[in-house]
Chain A
Amino acid sequence: MRKLKFSALALISFIGFTSCSSDDEATFINEEEVITTITATFTPIAGGETVVLTSRDLDGDGPDAPVLTVLGDFVVGTTYTGGVTFLNETESPAENITEEVYEEGDEHQIFYQTGGVGTVTYTDQDINNNPIGLSFTFVANQTATTGNFTVTLRHEPNKDGEGVAEGDITNAGGSTDATATFEVAVVE
């Protein structure tokens, strides 16, 4: 009798477990963390044409490469107020990730490699008085040239590394959350 009860119990529990399988369909996941769009905007202090660099990768980690656009050319010797924003455009309306980067400024830094087209100076600070890089000043080269301008957002960089606070990425470490390289020109 004991055995019978036991096997009946086992059978019932087994059937019970197998029959209560839930909804079999995957849930759609909106990847809210994804950065799809980097926009760097350069506004001449003394007025003039604004330069806008945009990298947009709407499929995130998918196979499509980002689409790069460069609006406008830099003018020799001009000083620009620079700012960079990060968006997630898979959502509607687009989510502004720039605010998160700013709030966690001590864990993020944006690096600019100007490729010889000018110089970047950070104008913002995190809670430890280290630069974040969301806003900066850009001074275009004194002579006409072309070059590759790279914007890189690093998560958890070593801001105490040699040259890192001055914007040198070489010793920064950390992991790259977003990066884009633009072909830009400095014209007379």
Chain B
Amino acid sequence: MKFYYLLLVLLLSVSWSTQAQYTLSGTVQTPKSTPLSGAHIHSNALHSISAPDGYYEVHNIPKGEQRVVISYIGYKTLDTVINFRDNVVLDVTLKPHAEQLQEVVLTENNVVSQNTVQEDRLKTETIEKYSSASLGDALKELPGVYALKTGTNIVKPVINGLHSSRVPVISNNVRLEDQQWGIEHAPNLDINSAGRISVIKGANALQYGGDAVGGLILVKPMEVLKDSLFGKSILSLNSNGRGGNLATSLHKGNEKGWAWNAGGSFKYMGDREAPDYVISNTGNREANFSGETRYIGDDYNISGFYSFYSAEIGIAKATHIGNTADLVNAINNQQPSVIEPFTHTIDNPKQQIQHHLAKLDYNKKLGNDASLNLQYAFQLNRRKEFDLRRGDYKDVPALDLTLITHSAQANWKKYLGDVTLKSGVSFSLQENDASPDTGVSPLIPKYTKTDAGAYGIASYRFSDKLTGEAGVRYDFTNISASKYYKKTRWTSLGYDGVYDNFITGEKGSQWLTNPEFTYHNISASLGIRYGITNNTELVGNAGLAMRNPNPSELFSDGLHHSNGTIELGDLGLDKETAIKVSATLLHKGKNFSLEATPFLNSIANFIYLQPTATEVTIRGSFPVYNYKQANALLTGFDFSTKWQPVNGLQHNLTFSYVHGTNTDTDEPLIDMPPLNINNAVRYTWANWHNLFLELRSEAVFTQNRYPNYNFYTDVPQGNELVSTLVNVSIPPKGYHLLNFSSGMHFDFGKTGTDINLSVYNIFNTSYRDYLNRQRLYADNAGRNIQLQIKFTY
């Protein structure tokens, strides 16, 4: 009986299907008419997937009203009802989905590429976490990247032991020209304007320049490719500094036509507090804006971009000293000399900085396999540094620089089967103006600099597993400065008879000079990427980089009030030449990922500051630091792992070590980041508002390798002058910090809300960091509790 029943059903169904069996077919495409391959088409239990040309067919659809659903990740799902009386052709255009898009655009994973240049990228979550901090703070989470700080607010990234002029920052494809030579000059850009931040630990990306002896930092604005409007606002409130940051941005993407981005942020922070005292005058303010509008045509796009960064940064009062006796007092007191009640007010000494960046670019597809990019950028950097001064000069900056940079470049790219060719030329003109209204001889003189460069890079895919790349670049630079030298200084630097040709005039006790230098540099790169297994790769790089001495290294001539030193440049400096070799082993497994990079950087004519003498002036005595050159060797190892032992639980480890030696004197290099190890354990409840709890440990070891530049000076004690050791060299003890963070995500229709609570330095540990210029005077800031609320819409 059962059998007959079954047979009946079978017969019925067969007959029914033979009677009314229709086919649904058609194509799936994007609004730009690009076929969508792999879209899901289903009607009840029947389904199909679109072919690479977007075509699909679904057979055996019964007669009558049937629900048809066509979906593709990142696009709005088409959900409709069709009355089938015949075969139906349904051509659909799927619109990108705004909410899905957010995930697509902000994807955290490194895109597996044919690129032989290893890029370490920050997660969007990390960028957002540091919304009220800075670029340098966020980058510190990457293995091999440390932070060179002045207090809390001025943070410069250090890549494998190198920083400043050796680590160019490329913001939206424009090399940031923001007086980056200075240790107390942090990159003039707002972290909130960045959608993507990555680091290249070498000079292997020749399209950006040939002088990245230390590495490159690439910052790109958020780009919404698809047709959608997306907005984001982040409010961060901090207990330490009693202030916060509000960042908001709107992005309109389009596949064709107009697309735009606009964002702004505002920061207001007061004095930071160390566990035992207020670090007076360490507040800061920022007001930033960036916007871009792009027109996307069939095979070209044009865009205009503008960003504005404006900051006022207080410098701890305790770091301003008059002479070495003051310095000794500051060091030996172990407490800042100025401790005042907490305030939001910023007093002198302070920095006021503005950076404008305007850019026009044009991209054109040349046929199917080539593209051309033309770009012009204008940058205006205004830097004012206010010091503690007397009388009418109280409100006059002691340093007032205006740096204007025009840069233009053309880049061409072509794919020829397994060969990719990249080539380009660049040109830039830079003018620095040092305002005479300061009443102080400027540290950096007036100068004009012209650069021109050309590069060619070829990569070849030998097989699915092996890609190789080779590139070469040539750069021409001419720098012409105008500067007054005290005749006594000119003589003491040994310039008499050597640089007489630079002297163009004299006024009183000073020479007017016009030093001019021309450089021709060659840089080159070689790289391979080899797939050992499906999820294990080896990336090898060798790069040759040349860096010209920067204006500070050539022309510095004066007293630095923040460290009580007289710094003297040297017109005789030669360019630095570095050869960096590194290998990266990359493993990306399901539960375990690993990245290990040993490196070696051999730098000829490495430029560094070394104390050479003590000079007595009417202010007292000062150590004199001269810029010197020697051969240097930096070796090290960066290591990171990501491990998910069970679902929801994740462990992250980063380990960085660098060993720097002056091979001429066999002494350690100064300011090398100490060994540091970070561990983070995180548990995420994906089913419950993505709640996550994370505990992060930062262990920084004591740097035992340092050059000993300690010296003795006479210090007034009571009624006597006492010869006292000035300990400027011995690094502070290592330290260990624990940080906690947690967060939850809530969806309200199309909008989302994230609430994060973090505690940095949970135990309020007192510590000083070797690479913090404030370390001689005050502890680092203590515990900070941060509440962050993020809205997406």
The residues of A with any CB-CB pair to B shorter than 8 Å are: 3, 6-7, 10, 13-14, 17-18, 21-22, 24-33, 35-38, 55, 57-66, 90, 97, 100-101, 103-104, 111, 113-116, 148, 150, 152, 154-156, 158, 168-170, 173-181
Contact = CB atoms under 8 A, between A and B. Distances in A.
Contact of A63 (B302, B489, B714, B718): B489
Contacts of A3: 300, 302, 362
9 contacts: A21-B448, A25-B446, A32-B393, A63-B486, A111-B716, A158-B338, A173-B329, A175-B326, A181-B721
Contacts of A174: 322, 326, 337
Nearest to A176: B322
B616 A66 contact: yes
Interface of B: 300, 302, 320-323, 325-326, 329, 337-338, 360, 362, 374, 376, 378, 388-391, 393, 404, 406, 408, 429, 431, 433-434, 436, 438-442, 445-446, 448, 480, 482-484, 486, 488-489, 491-492, 507-510, 512, 558-559, 561, 566, 615-620, 714, 716-721
Given A28-B484, A169-B716, A176-B322, 4 more contacts: A10-B360, A29-B438, A60-B486, A173-B326
Contact of B322 (A101, A113, A154): A154
Nearest to B338: A173
Contacts of B717: 170
Shortest 9 CB-CB distances between A and B: which pairs?
A176-B322, A175-B322, A173-B337, A27-B436, A63-B492, A57-B618, A26-B482, A100-B391, A62-B486
Contact of B434 (A22, A26, A156): A26
B391 A103 contact: yes
A124 B488 CA distance: 38
Contacts of A59: 486, 488-489, 509
A176 B325 CA distance: 9
A72 B707 CA distance: 47
A28 B483 CA distance: 9
Contacts of B338: 156, 158, 173
A57 B323 CA distance: 15
A179 B324 CA distance: 12
A38 B323 CA distance: 17
A175 B388 contact: yes
A62 B440 contact: no
B448 A24 contact: yes
A175 B721 contact: no
Contact of A26 (B483, B488, B616, B620): B483
Contact of A55 (B393, B436, B618, B714): B618
Nearest to B509: A59
A104 B390 CA distance: 8
A108 to B, nearest CB: 8
B718 A170 contact: yes
A129 B574 CA distance: 57
A104 B484 CA distance: 32
B480 A24 contact: yes
B561 A175 contact: yes
A18 B618 contact: no
Given A150-B721, A155-B322, A62 B618 contact: no
Given A32-B439, A62-B489, A148-B721, A179 B618 contact: yes
